[in-house]
């Protein structure tokens, strides 16, 4: 399995018989897995999405967006209880090119990626149940891809 370090963004290969949740980065010696959303920027977005074996959920948000602010604690809570997924955030005000390339038209927008490809997306504020249902549906789509 490949997992991109949540701290230095170096790609690490984790043997199948090892727990990636406890793995340390070969470069920075920090934990490679983060149960809290990882902030992505212009130089880290594409490598993080493409190089991770685990599915990646990206929250595209902005500081002026009320629904984004309301959903942020829910996104963080779901991230804490979903150890087989990686959660990330992209501030659309600071990383406008990534948002434009991802064709983000409304906020908040969640995008589910697997193996570098977009599997699903949903826009608008979600409560915890709605978010978990959408994630479950997105995970099921991986098997159909």
Q: Which fold has domain 1-33?
A: SH3 type barrels. (2.30.30)
pLDDT at 5 over 70: yes
Intervals of CATH 2.30.30 along the chain = 1-33
- Return the pLDDT at 144: 65
- 43: nearest Cα among 12, 8, 72, 86: 8
pLDDT at 52 over 60: yes
Active-site amino acid positions: 65, 68
Intervals of CATH 3.40.30.10 along the chain = 35-144
Q: What is the CATH number of domain 35-144?
A: 3.40.30.10
More confident site: 16 or 101 = 101
Give the confidence band of 143 by pLDDT, cuts at 50, 70, 90.
confident
- Return the pLDDT at 2: 96
């Amino acid at each position: 399995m490949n997992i991109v370090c949540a701290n230095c963004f170096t790609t690490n290969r984790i043997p199948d018989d090892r727990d990636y949740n406890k793995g340390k980065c070969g470069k920075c010696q920090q934990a490679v897995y983060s149960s809290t959303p990882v902030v992505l920027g212009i130089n880290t977005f594409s490598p993080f999405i493409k190089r991770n074996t685990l599915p990646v959920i990206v929250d595209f948000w902005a500081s002026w967006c009320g629904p984004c602010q309301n959903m942020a604690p829910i996104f963080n809570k779901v991230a804490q209880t979903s150890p087989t997924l990686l959660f990330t955030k992209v501030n659309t005000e600071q990383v406008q090119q990534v948002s434009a390339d991802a064709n983000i038209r409304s906020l908040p927008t969640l995008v589910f990626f697997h193996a570098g490809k977009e599997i699903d997306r949903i826009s608008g504020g979600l409560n915890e149940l709605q978010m978990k249902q959408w994630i479950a549906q997105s995970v099921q789509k991986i098997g159909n891809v």
